């Protein structure tokens, strides 16, 4: 379906999703959040697309934050509802079978940093900058910044970033484990696409279960997480991909996975 604020392109098993509000640095408002939720609800049922690359239009910003002009007059109830929809989006992105890669091409601040954190991992341009500057506006992060950031980089690093509102560059984001890789801006999408194609060449059920298991590890005690992994491992042996993958290994040939 067509979207007002999003561009969505599919190339085989890889889709590129671009937030397309460059005149306001791709700021998140309620309409953008709802469109993203609609799109990821569709992806949840799509077995042809294996990986989604999420980026921002223009050369300045991934997402520079939430739309302050829209937010400034919200009532407490309206603000809580807006925050809740951002969390709904993050939870949905974590639950879809596709691996979601953030390709951060510029500023990722506030809601933009939180949107990147809702992705499974982050590649960043050398010119990218990250931050949770909400306290400078008199508010706290509203789309998971205090939670996903702490799980990504540890509570002390997260508290320092959220309490100071300071921005960090891509090199510092890499050092603290916020991003997986930093590359020249001209190479960002190609680097993400190369990784996406490698993921898409693997067994689809296995990749989806790996995503579920790693996300579960952030919530479950170790013993329960290990049981989750055991169940996932057993589930793989119900699939044609497991039989094809192991047969191909023994025959010393590339596997031909079907996602079944």
Supply the residues annotated as catalytic: 114, 134
Per-residue pLDDT of the chain (260 residues; tens, 9 = 90+): 679 999 999 999 999 999 999 999 999 999 999 999 999 999 999 989 999 999 999 989 999 988 888 889 999 999 999 999 999 999 999 999 999 999 999 999 999 999 999 999 999 999 999 999 999 999 999 999 999 999 999 999 999 999 999 999 999 999 999 999 999 999 999 999 999 999 999 999 999 999 999 999 988 999 999 999 999 999 999 999 999 999 999 999 999 998 88
Using DSSP, state whether 49 is helix, strand or coil: coil
pLDDT at residue 1, rounded to an integer: 63
Residue 59, CA distances (Å) to 56, 125, 169 in order: 8, 10, 16
Task: Write out the H or E segment, with its range, that includes residue 182.
Answer: strand 181-183
Cα angle value 207/211/217 (rounded, 5°)? 140
Where does CATH 3.90.226.10 sit in the chain?
6-200
Where does CATH 1.10.12.10 sit in the chain?
204-251
Which residue has tokens 């909400």?
134
3-state helix, strand, coil in the chain (%, to 5): 50, 20, 30
User: How many other CB atoms sit within 10 Å of the CB of residue 49?
Assistant: 19
**Distance between CA 147 and CA 151 in Å, rounded?**
6
Which residue has tokens 């090199």?
171
The architecture that CATH gives domain 204-251 is Orthogonal Bundle (1.10)
Do 120 and 74 contact (CB within 8 A), yes or no?
Answer: no
pLDDT at residue 173, rounded to an integer: 98
The CATH fold of domain 6-200: 2-enoyl-CoA Hydratase; Chain A, domain 1 (3.90.226)
pLDDT at residue 65, rounded to an integer: 87
């Amino acid at each position: 379906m067509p979207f007002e604020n999003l561009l969505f392109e599919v190339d085989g098993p890889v889709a590129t999703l671009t937030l397309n509000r460059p005149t306001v640095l791709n700021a998140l408002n309620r309409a953008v959040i709802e469109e993203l939720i609609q799109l990821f609800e569709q992806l949840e049922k799509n077995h042809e697309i294996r990986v989604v690359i999420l980026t921002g239009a223009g050369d300045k910003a991934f997402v520079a934050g939430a739309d302050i002009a829209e937010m400034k007059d919200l009532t407490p109830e309206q603000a809580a509802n807006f925050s809740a929809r951002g969390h709904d989006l993050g939870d949905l992105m974590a639950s879809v079978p596709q691996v979601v890669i953030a390709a951060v091409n510029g500023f990722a601040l506030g809601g933009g940093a939180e949107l990147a954190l809702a992705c499974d991992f982050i590649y960043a341009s050398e010119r990218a900058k990250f931050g949770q500057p909400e306290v400078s506006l008199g508010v706290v992060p509203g789309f998971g910044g205090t939670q996903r950031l702490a799980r990504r980089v540890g509570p002390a690093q997260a508290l320092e970033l959220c309490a100071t509102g300071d921005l960090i560059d891509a090199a510092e984001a890499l050092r603290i484990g916020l991003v997986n890789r930093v590359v020249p801006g001209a190479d960002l999408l190609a680097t993400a696409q190369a990784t996406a194609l490698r993921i898409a060449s693997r067994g689809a059920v296995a990749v989806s279960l790996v995503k579920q298991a790693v996300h579960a590890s952030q919530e479950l005690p170790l013993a329960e997480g290990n049981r989750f992994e055991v169940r996932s491992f057993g589930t793989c042996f119900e699939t044609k991909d497991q039989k094809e993958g192991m047969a191909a290994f023994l025959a010393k040939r590339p596997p031909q996975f079907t996602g079944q």
